[in-house]
């Protein structure tokens, strides 16, 4: 998801000169090759405006993509675009709140989940017939694996950004 600074069709740019096929081709080809589809949206269709009262332009530049693999594993998503605000020419969304809710303090949360899983394993070893520990262990393991993978992705992205800033 993000600001792609490109439109995929002439209908996505209003009150301005329509984009040429040449201007559309690269972005459309990229989406086609990667089989990216726009998620269903609610709210504003045009997510950017020019801030020029005498010659306003409205475009759909912000998008959220998904692919068929998401659908095949049962993942469904959507996006809501609010009207552009007074401090930004883009539609504010909820990605920052989502990021904070699900990914803040990822290392601490991953470590806590791993410790909870280890604790449950130790308790199950002491009480192998305890059904409650056996049932909770699967959920704790899934949570620990998910958070460990999220932490790995976080550090991978952080290293990539560092390389882009500091590397050759």
Q: Which residue is it, tokens 């609610």?
A: 42
| pLDDT score, position 26 | 92
Residue range 66-97, pLDDT digits in tens: 998 888 888 888 888 887 654 455 665 766 66
Residue range 16-59, pLDDT digits in tens: 888 888 889 999 999 999 999 999 999 889 888 887 778 888 89
| pLDDT score, position 72 | 86
| pLDDT score, position 86 | 46
How far, in Å, CA of 116 to CA of 110, rounded? 10
| Cα dist from 11 to 112, 120, 130, 139, 141, whole Å | 49, 56, 62, 46, 48
More confident residue, 110 or 101: 110
| Residue 63: partners with Cβ closer than 8 Å, 6 or more residues away | 1, 2, 4, 38, 47, 79
| Cα dist from 81 to 20, 94, 125, whole Å | 26, 9, 50
| Cα dist from 102 to 79, 96, 155, whole Å | 17, 10, 16
Percentage above 70 pLDDT, the chain = 89
């Amino acid at each position: 998801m993000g600001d792609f600074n490109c439109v995929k069709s002439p209908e996505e740019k209003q009150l301005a000169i329509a984009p040429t096929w040449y201007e559309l081709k690269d972005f459309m080809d990229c989406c086609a090759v990667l089989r990216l589809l726009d998620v269903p949206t609610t709210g504003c269709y045009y997510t950017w405006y020019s801030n020029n009262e005498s010659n306003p332009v409205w475009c759909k530049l912000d998008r959220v993509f998904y692919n068929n693999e998401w659908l095949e594993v049962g993942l469904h998503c959507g996006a809501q675009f609010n009207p552009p605000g007074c401090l930004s020419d883009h539609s504010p969304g909820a990605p920052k709140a989502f990021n904070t809710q699900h990914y803040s303090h990822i290392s601490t949360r991953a470590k806590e989940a791993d410790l909870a899983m280890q604790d449950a394993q130790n308790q199950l070893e002491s009480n192998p017939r305890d059904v409650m520990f056996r049932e909770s262990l699967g959920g704790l393991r899934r949570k620990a694996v998910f958070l460990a993978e999220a932490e790995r992705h976080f550090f991978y992205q952080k290293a990539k950004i560092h390389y882009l800033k500091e590397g050759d």
